[in-house]
Amino acid sequence: MPRSWYDRHAISREVSEDEQHIYRSVVADRKPYFMRYIYPALSKQYNTYVKAANKNALREFDMTIPEMLERTASSLTEQQLAFIQKYWRYMPVGISNCVMNTICRKIETQFRLLVAENSKRMFDYKMLKSGSDYSSAHLSAIRQIMNEYNKKVQAYAVEANCVRPDEDEKRASLANLDRWFMGKCIQTCPDSEELCDIVLDLCYSREKTKQFAWKMCGDIIVRNLARRKRSISFPRLDERGNIKWKSERFSIASVPVDVIE
Amino acid sequence: MSYTLKETEWAADAIASPSLGKSPYDTLRKVARYYIDEGMKPNGVYAEVEKYVLQCDKAASLVKWERTIDAAVQFAAKHNAVNIDKITVTESELETISKIQSGNQERRLAFTLLCLAKYWNVRNHVDSYWVNSTDSDIMKMANIKTSIKRQCKLYHDLRDAGLISFSHKIDCNHVCVSFANDDSPVMIEITDLRNLGNQYMMYIGQPYFACVECGIVIKKDNPDKGRTQKYCRDCAAAVKAQQSKLSHIKSKK
């Protein structure tokens, strides 16, 4: 493929002067927008560019690029208009309204609405609890253990990023870590139901990682859920079902669950 | 990225007491550069860096470290070690910073940007006063913990005050410091790039102190009460552990 087809800088070297403007208008020097979902490196390049450009816009004009784009051209200063022009010109992906880009943007909008809707729903974690009382001494002791656990998991993640262990080794190391901390938790609070309530209050009362709760008391949480609802519902293949997915029909079925105390 | 004024000395200390530290890649590239400056050939440097990794962690898998060691040795081969005695801040520069109306955060940021601009000038052998550090590094060194929006507002205020300018490149967040003035008496000599914000606060008489053990400048816990603080939290814990160990040995005798 001639370089001038995909490299803007090669046009002046390889193409005659009368044809250069035609080549410049059709040169494929960047991948289209939707390809950021195919090439992770392109997605990273795009995200980094948008983040850095937005930061620059905040620093220069005290407003982000989306805020500038919402305004009409007449309400923006010359510098702001020049900034926006540069922003589109140096975008690492092609943002034209081709068919694939349009489809990609429609799907993104749908997902954004879905995610926004889901985040508004408040999750009532009390259904996971055993209903036991606990002392403040136990609460502060388990809180310390949780903070230590989170630090250790974070430190391991940094180490794993450098050392790059294989999946089995990673799984084994994390399992060892979980086992060690579980032992520490049981030593501090031998009553498993009390421990379950403590970890749930610690993890779910604020926007924190819930990993500690599920790793330490996952089986107790599932048992509590099963006690509350003695059946599990799931979609089952059914020719006359009302749920359609991938050209198959499903209907919701329930099975009773026996809780082993 | 960690910023060290005397990388050769730092690397010699790191080799004497092997530890990969918080940023293993940074440590390895400094150690690699140390060996290159000692006159070792590239193959020899690679072998020594591998040995160093094993000294730090006997269970380390060299196959998994291969890419990191390769990148560190290649970087070290292309870039000389940074060996700067000190970074000076002059009277006129401090006066300019003190005239900033907005607040202490802006002053700390201006001071940090000035020091970093001088660091990069020496490192890159230029006279341009561009700060090529990432925002997270700058804010960490300036001891400013705030939102991205507020951080951008700080830069905006400094730009409006004429102290810095931004890059013309749309996605480049580097800034150029424009108030540097070396033709003025030297007031501060910076020998440690950690906690530059706190160093400035200590200079203007705020309750900050330098740890006698590691030299880091931190805020006093209770400036009005108790004895004068000597150690930072980490060194205090280490000193306390050492003292308990000694007293335990004494009591056993």
| Per-position DSSP letters for chain A, written without gaps between them | --GGGT-GGGHHHHS-HHHHHHHHHH---S-BGGGGGT-HHHHHHHHHHHHHHHHHHHHHHSS-HHHHHHS-GGGS-HHHHHHHHHHHHT-SSB----HHHHHHHHHHHHHHHHHHHHHHSPP-GGGG-------HHHHHHHHHHHHHHHHHHHHHHHHHHHH---HHHHHHHHHHHHHHHHHHHHHH---HHHHHHHHHHHHHTTT---HHHHHHHHHHHHHHHHHH-SEEEEEEE-TT-SEEETTEEEEEEEEE-----
Tell me the per-residue pLDDT of B199-211, one tens digit each, with 9 for 90 and over.
Answer: 999 999 988 989 9
Question: pTM score, two decimals?
Answer: 0.72
- Say yes or no to pLDDT of B166 above 90: yes
Test A53 with B61 for CB contact under 8 angstroms: no
Q: For residue A124, report the phi and psi dihedrals to the nearest 5 degrees.
A: -90, 100
Across the 261 residues of chain A, what is the mean pLDDT of every consecutive 10-residue run? 89 89 90 95 95 94 92 92 94 93 94 80 82 88 91 83 77 88 90 91 85 91 82 87 89 78 56
Test A163 with B64 for CB contact under 8 angstroms: yes
Put simply, the chain B residues between 218 and 247 with a CB less than 8 A from any chain A CB are none
Q: For residue B145, report the phi and psi dihedrals to the nearest 5 degrees.
A: -120, 100
What SS3 state is found at B218? strand
Q: Give how far B153 is from chain A: nearest CA, Å.
A: 6
Put simply, the chain B residues between 155 and 214 with a CB less than 8 A from any chain A CB are 155-156, 159, 166-167, 170-173
Quick one: how far is CA B40 from the chain centroid? 28
Instruction: Compare CB distances from B170 to A56, A58, A59 and report the shortest one's residue.
Output: A56
pLDDT at A260: 57
pLDDT at A233: 85
Q: CB of B180 within 8 A of CB of B117?
A: yes
Mutate to test the interface with B, among A91, A162, A168, A170 (most CBs of B within 10 A): A162
As a whole number of angstroms, the distance between CA A26 and CA A6 comes to: 9
B25 has a chain A CB within 8 A of its CB: yes
Q: Give how far A45 is from chain B: nearest CA, Å.
A: 11
Residue in chain B nearest A90 by alpha carbon:
B170
B24 has a chain A CB within 8 A of its CB: yes
Instruction: Compare CB distances from B149 to A56, A58, A165 and report the shortest one's residue.
Output: A58
pLDDT at A57: 95
- The token duo for A182 is 């579980």
Based on DSSP, count helices (H) and strands (E) in chain B, helices before strands: 10, 7
- The token duo for A174 is 């994390």
Q: CB of B183 within 8 A of CB of B168?
A: no
β-strand pairing of B186-190 with B175-177: unpaired
- Average pLDDT rounded to a whole number, residues B168-175: 93
Q: How many CB pairs under 8 A join A and B?
A: 51
Tell me the per-residue pLDDT of A65-84, one tens digit each, with 9 for 90 and over.
Answer: 999 999 998 999 999 999 99
User: Which residues in chain B have Cβ-Cβ distances shorter than 8 Å to A55?
Assistant: 135, 148, 152, 173
Give residues with Cβ within 8 angstroms of A246, minimum separation 6: none
Put simply, the chain A residues between 23 and 62 with a CB less than 8 A from any chain B CB are 48-49, 52-53, 55-56, 58-60, 62
User: Which residues in chain A have Cβ-Cβ distances shorter than 8 Å to B148?
Assistant: 55, 58
Residue B73's nearest CA partner among B16, B38, B22, B35 is B35
pLDDT at B226: 67
Q: Give how far A66 is from chain B: nearest CA, Å.
A: 14
Q: Which amino acid is at B233?
A: R
Residue A57's nearest CA partner among A68, A46, A43, A48 is A68
The CB density around residue B119, as the number of other CB atoms within 10 Å, is 20
As a whole number of angstroms, the distance between CA B40 and CA B51 comes to: 14
User: Which residues in chain A have Cβ-Cβ distances shorter than 8 Å to B65?
Assistant: 162-163
pLDDT over 90 for what percent of chain B?
51
Test B152 with A53 for CB contact under 8 angstroms: no
Test B166 with A60 for CB contact under 8 angstroms: yes
Tell me the per-residue pLDDT of B220-242, one tens digit each, with 9 for 90 and over.
Answer: 887 777 677 888 888 888 888 88
What SS3 state is found at B49? helix
Test B60 with A163 for CB contact under 8 angstroms: yes
pLDDT over 70 for what percent of chain B?
99
pLDDT at B228: 78
Q: How far is CA A37 from CA A43, A105, B10, B58, B171, in A?
A: 7, 12, 43, 41, 21
Test B173 with A56 for CB contact under 8 angstroms: yes
Is B193 buried (19+), middle (13-18) or exposed (0-12) by CB count in 10 A? buried
Test B152 with A163 for CB contact under 8 angstroms: no
Q: Which amino acid is at A241?
A: G
- Average pLDDT rounded to a whole number, residues B145-161: 93
The CB density around residue B96, as the number of other CB atoms within 10 Å, is 19
pLDDT at B64: 81
Is B221 buried (19+), middle (13-18) or exposed (0-12) by CB count in 10 A? exposed
**DSSP states of A193-244 as a string?**
HHHHHHHHHHHHTTT---HHHHHHHHHHHHHHHHHH-SEEEEEEE-TT-SEE
